[in-house]
Amino acid sequence: MNMRSANNNSELSGPAIPALERGLDVLERVSGLDTPLTLTAIARLCGRSVSELQRVVACLHQRGYLFRDSGGAYRVSSKLFRMGQACPPFQDLLTRSRIPMRRFAQTTGESVHISVLVEDRLLILANVPGPGYVQLGINAGTPHDPILSASGRVFLAAMPSGEFEAFISRNNIKPDRVKALHPQLARISRSGYECVESHLYCGVYDLALAVKSRDGECVAALACSYLRPRNYSAAGRTLAVKNLLPKLRQCSRQIADTFDSPPSRQAEAIP
């Protein structure tokens, strides 16, 4: 073992840093919420006193990690997401997918978003809105339960059996939930896509499929979320899939094709 490794191990097993832990507690608890919280509400959520978090929250606000509204309530800013996007794997994927996603949005009038699986959570990396009369905006940077989301199930369906079983074990998924999940994943494997009504909103439908590398690995999930037309019927759903699916598959192939050459060169090649 070299000296650097020894020092790193010593640091990892050393004493905790209370101020840092309080700051991380705040970011981790507040990051999944849409509603801004007052300092008192943040303290209650973290199980700490206001005096413990007052300076921590003020520091996070000053450094740009928290945004404070006119009412004095705080929410997480986009800084963490921007830092995450700067990570080479994410930035590379965003560079490769930007032009194909814009083309899909322009030709269909619908929005399209791309997601990755990070630490067993589905993370939305980017959303490109369509130019249609009504637009659906998906917040980039938001994490989701992969079992509940169409894009997440696309990832799970593409997993080798050993990885899937490890995912189930790590997340303590109950047997009855796994049993209900198996036919869904089998259907996705057969058809190559998932198209279902959103588990969050009535009248919103998600059409999702995988972006795969040359060796068949699912590197991302590409999805189009669209609204149910007023004259919607079973035939209308089939028509929507018929119209959108070929273009979404084309978008996926265009992104996958960029992995055969540097993304900058591909971006120049696609008008």
Summarised one tens digit per residue, pLDDT across range 17-46 is 888 899 988 998 888 677 889 999 999 999
82, 91 Cβ separation under 8 angstroms: no
The whole-chain average pLDDT of the chain stands at: 83
pTM: 0.67
Give residue-wise pLDDT tens across range 225-259.
Answer: 888 766 555 555 666 788 899 999 999 999 999 88
**Is residue 112 over pLDDT 50?**
yes
123, 114 Cβ separation under 8 angstroms: no
User: What's the CA gap between 97 and 178, in Å, rounded?
Assistant: 32
Give 96: exposed, middle or buried? Use CB within 10 Å, 0-12, 13-18, 19+. Answer: buried
**Is residue 186 over pLDDT 90?**
yes
Q: What is the mean pLDDT of residues 113-126?
A: 91
**Is residue 8 over pLDDT 60?**
no
- Using CA of residue 134, residue 244, residue 160, residue 181, what is the dihedral sign? positive
Q: Report the pLDDT value the prediction gives residue 233, as an integer from 0 to 100.
A: 57
Domains observed in the chain: 3-77 (1.10.10.10), 87-269 (3.30.450.40)
User: Which residues, other chains included, contact 244 with Cβ-Cβ below 8 Å and sequence gap of 6+?
Assistant: 108, 110, 207, 224, 226
Give residue-wise pLDDT tens across range 54-97.
Answer: 999 999 999 988 989 888 999 888 777 666 655 666 788 888 99
Q: Report the pLDDT value the prediction gives residue 143, as an integer from 0 to 100.
A: 81
